[in-house]
Amino acid sequence: MERISWNEYFMAQSQLLALRSTCTRLTVGATIVRDKRIIAGGYNGSIAGGDHCTDKGCYVIDNHCVRTIHAEMNALLQCAKFGVQTADADIYVTHFPCLQCCKSIIQAGLRSVYYAEDYKNHPYAVELFAQAGIRTVKVPSDRTDSDKKNFVQSLLTNLELSGADQDTVAQLREEASMLFR
């Protein structure tokens, strides 16, 4: 099997993070990278210790679930919480960022947004990214399902070998197996 590109690698990390999402409407993962090193990751879900959409349902106001924090924001907040600088970093997101996340990405000083799927790409977000000089790149996936399955399995094995919680790894393996039926 051919070695995957950096863009595919970091996007796969974001797709793996999306498996932790507690949103029932859309699962999203985000990985922040500087100098080809992961500095933070996030997925869309509720506040720590709060009710999850998977348990209580989505809390929708004006067609938006207000119960969840978006993946991009969770990754940026992780950097803030642990004092990790975001200037000149890149973000890999499973879906094109919403307008609010776009503004946060700009203010955090990120330089590039890599995304796997278009999702209600707001024209003003596209305009703001251009105005701020932030490069947006759609990362196409030309891997077969077999390649994806093998890659996800290797990520899960590496996660397990790194000492991750075995129950969490088992749950992720179960969710991954459902993706590749």
Cite the active site residues. 72
Q: Which residues of 24-52 are buried (b: 16+ CB within 10 A; e: fewer)?
A: eebbbbbbbbbeeeebbbbbbbbeeeeeb
Q: Which residues of 68-86 are buried (b: 16+ CB within 10 A; e: fewer)?
A: bbbbbbbbbebbeeeeeeb
Instruction: Enumerate the β-bridge partners of residue 136.
Output: 113
Rounded CA-CA distance 88/109 in Å is: 6
Residue by residue, DSSP assigns 64-113 as EESS-B-HHHHHHHHHHHHT---TT-EEEEEEPPPHHHHHHHHHTT--EE
Residue 137, phi then psi, degrees to nearest 5: -135, 125
Rounded CA-CA distance 41/5 in Å is: 19
Exposed, middle or buried: residue 18 (CB in 10 Å: 0-12, 13-18, 19+)?
Answer: buried
